[in-house]
Chains A and B, each alone.
Chain A
C-alpha cells in the first residue's frame, strides 16, 4: 500500500509540473491556435535562470528563503521576457500567414533557443542547488512523500487558484476569454488583441518558469535539453485534456502524470514515454476532442 501511495504522490507531483507547462500551451492555443513549440524552451530558460541566480546568491551567502524568492522571481521575469520577445519576433509577423508557417517558425525558435543556451552556458548536466528544505513535520511520512513533492503540490495549487482568479475576475482575464471566443468580435468591442496575446504569452511563460524551477530543484540537475521532452509531454497533456481548455490542461496533466508513475512503478521504467503516448492515442481515438474539450461542430 505504501508503494501505491508513493507512486500516487509521485504521479501527482509529476502531473502538477506538466500542468504548469501545459497551461501555457493551452492558453496560447486557445487564443491564436498555434502549437507554441518554443514553450518547452521557455520552461528550460526559466529553470536555467533560477539555477544561475540561486547559485550566485548562495555563493554570496544569502539565506535560503531569500534565495528561493529571488530566484523564483528572476525565473518568472526573464521567462516572461523571453516569451514576450519570441511572440513579437517570431509569431506576430505571421498572424495572417498560412497555417503551418508559425509552426515552422516555432520549431526554428525552439532549435535556436536550445542552442543559444547550449553555447552561452554548457552542454553538461549541472547540479541544481536544493532550494526546498526537508520539513520537520514531514518526517514520519518522508519515506513515502518527500518535502519537495509537498511543496510542488502546494505551490501548483496556489498558482492554479491565482490563475483561475485572474481569468475569471480580472479585466485582462475577461479580455483573454473574449479573444479566445472570437477575435474579430473582441476587436469590435474595443479589446487590444495584440496586448491580450502578449499577456497570454507572459502569463504562460511565468507559469512554465515556476514549473521549471520546482522540477529542477526536485530532480537536482538541469541541462539545456530538458525543455524538449517536458514540452512534448506537457503538450500531450494539454491535448489529452482538450486543448484550449484550462481545467482540461490540469486534468490531462494529472492523468498523464499518474499514468506514467503507475506504469513505471508496476510495469517497466523503460517504456515510460510509450505509455504516455499510447494513452494519448487511445483517448483521442475514442474522444477526439480530448477529455474536457468541446466537440466542435463545423457549420457550413
Chain B
C-alpha cells in the first residue's frame, strides 16, 4: 500500500529537519562557563519524529485524494452536518436551550477553578464576537483590538480609584469610552486599504499599551492598579467563591446578549451593508451605501464589546497592568475569529472555547503548550482554512425539493 518512493521521500524530509534543527536543538553553549553541551539524542528524536509525521501526512493526503475521487459528484450537494443543524430552527432552538441550561448549571457541577476558566473563555467569546463584527463581517483587518479591551479595563480601574465608581456604573461607560476611541481611530484610518489598516491598528494598540506603561501619573505604569473591587449585587457581601460564580453569570448574560445583538445586526440593513462592504467596496458605494459611516459604526461597535469585556476583566482579576494587553492578545482574539470561521457566530464561539480552554487543559504539557498552540494554529489553517464552522449565508430555498434540486 505504501510505495517505497514515499519512504525515501520521508527519509529525505527527516534528514532535512535534522539539518534544520541542528544548531538550535543539538548545541547548547554556556557562554560564561565556556562549555559546549552536544545533545545528540535530540537530533535522533527530531529525525524520527519528522519521519513519522511526514509518513502520516502522506497517508492522510492519499486517503483524502481517494475520498475526493469517490465523492466527486455527491460532494457538491451535501452540506456539512453542522450547517444543516444551524439552518433548521427545529434543531437549533432546542440545542441552544440545552447549551444555555448547561451554561447556567455549570457552577453547580464544577469547581470554582473550572468556573473561573470558563468565565475567561466566555469573555473571549464576547471579544471574538466583537472583533467578528469588524473583521469577519465588515472585512476590516484590525490587529490592535486589544487596545479597546485595555481602555475598558483601565476605565473601570481608574474611575474606581479616583471617583469610587461602582462596577455597574462603569460597565456602560467603559463600553462607550472604547466605542468613542474606535470612532477616533476610525476617522484617520478609513482611507487605508487592507494591510495598511492592519499595521496602523497594530501600531495604535501598541501606542495605547506603551502610554499605559510609561505615563506613571495617569496609570501607575507597569506596576498596574490593584485592589479593584469585584462587582456588587445590591450591596450584598460575597465571599470569594460566590464572587467568582456571580461574575460567571454576568459573563453568561453578556454572551447571550451579545449573540442576540450580533445575530440581529447581521440580518439588519447595517449588517448587509457591512457584508457588501467586505465583498466589494466600489460596488457597495455605487449602491448608495455611506462607506465612511458604515465603517465607523463597525469599528465603534466592535470596540464597544471589547470595552465591556475590559471592565469585566478588571473586576474579575481585581488587578490591571499593561502586560495583559500585548499584541499576542490581539493575535489570539483574531485567531479565534479566523479559526472559528469568519463571520459565523457559532464558529467564533467554538473557536474561543477551543483556543482558550486548550492551553488551560494543556497545562499538563506546561511549557510545551504555547508551542502546541502555535503549531495547532498552523495545522488548522493548512487543513481547514475556512475555519471550523464557516458562515451560513442566509438564503431562500424550496424545502420539498432541496434533496433533488441541482
Contacts and interface: CB of A to CB of B under 8 A. Distances in A.
Interface of A: 29, 33, 35, 45, 48-49, 51-53, 55-56, 59, 74, 78, 81-82, 85, 89-90, 93-94, 97-105, 107-117, 119-121, 126-127, 129, 228, 232, 235-236, 239, 243, 270-271, 273-274, 276-278, 280-281, 284-285, 288-290, 296, 298, 300
Contact of B195 (A35, A105, A271): A35
Contacts of A270: 214
Interface string B374-386: 1111100110011
A30 to B, nearest CB: 12
A277 B204 contact: yes
Interface residues of B, number: 61
Given A35-B198, A116-B24, 17 more contacts: A29-B195, A48-B23, A81-B20, A89-B378, A104-B339, A107-B377, A108-B376, A111-B377, A120-B42, A126-B31, A232-B202, A239-B196, A274-B214, A277-B206, A281-B189, A285-B188, A285-B191
Given A112-B374, A119-B368, A232-B202, A105 B27 contact: no
Given A100-B135, A109-B374, A296-B193, A239 B382 contact: no
A252 to B, nearest CB: 12
B35 interface: yes
Nearest to A300: B282
Interface of B: 16, 19-21, 23-25, 27-29, 31-32, 34-36, 42, 135, 141, 188-189, 191-196, 198-200, 202-204, 206-207, 210-211, 214, 282-283, 327-328, 331, 334-335, 338-339, 342, 367-368, 370-371, 373-378, 381-382, 385-386
Given A74-B23, A115-B371, A284-B200, A274 B334 contact: no
Contact of B373 (A111, A278, A290): A111
B382 A104 contact: no
18 contacts: A35-B199, A55-B36, A56-B36, A100-B334, A101-B381, A101-B386, A108-B381, A110-B374, A111-B328, A112-B374, A112-B378, A273-B206, A274-B206, A274-B207, A278-B207, A281-B188, A284-B196, A288-B192
A101 B29 contact: no
B204 A104 contact: no
User: What DSSP secondary structure best describes chain B's contact surface?
Assistant: helix
A41 to B, nearest CB: 10
A115 B370 contact: yes
B213 to A, nearest CB: 8
A223 to B, nearest CB: 13
A100 B338 contact: yes
Contact of B371 (A74, A119, A243): A119
B196 A105 contact: no
Given A121-B24, A127-B32, A108 B371 contact: no
Contact of A59 (B34, B206, B328, B339): B34
Given A104-B335, A288-B196, A296-B193, A98 B385 contact: yes
Contacts of A45: 24
Give the most central of B194, B196, B328, B342: most A CB within 10 Å. B196
B377 A108 contact: yes
Contact of B381 (A49, A82, A102, A119): A102
Give the most central of A90, A117, A228, A239: most B CB within 10 Å. A239
B377 A280 contact: no
Contacts of B27: 52, 56
B193 A288 contact: yes
Give the most central of A101, A111, A290: most B CB within 10 Å. A111
A104 B334 contact: yes
Contacts of B36: 55-56, 59
Give the most central of B196, B199, B204, B342: most A CB within 10 Å. B199
Contacts of B386: 97-98, 101
B31 A129 contact: yes
A218 B385 CA distance: 41
B203 A121 contact: no
Contacts of A127: 31-32
Contacts of B331: 107, 111
A296 B195 CA distance: 13
Give the most central of B198, B203, B339, B376: most A CB within 10 Å. B203
A108 B23 contact: no
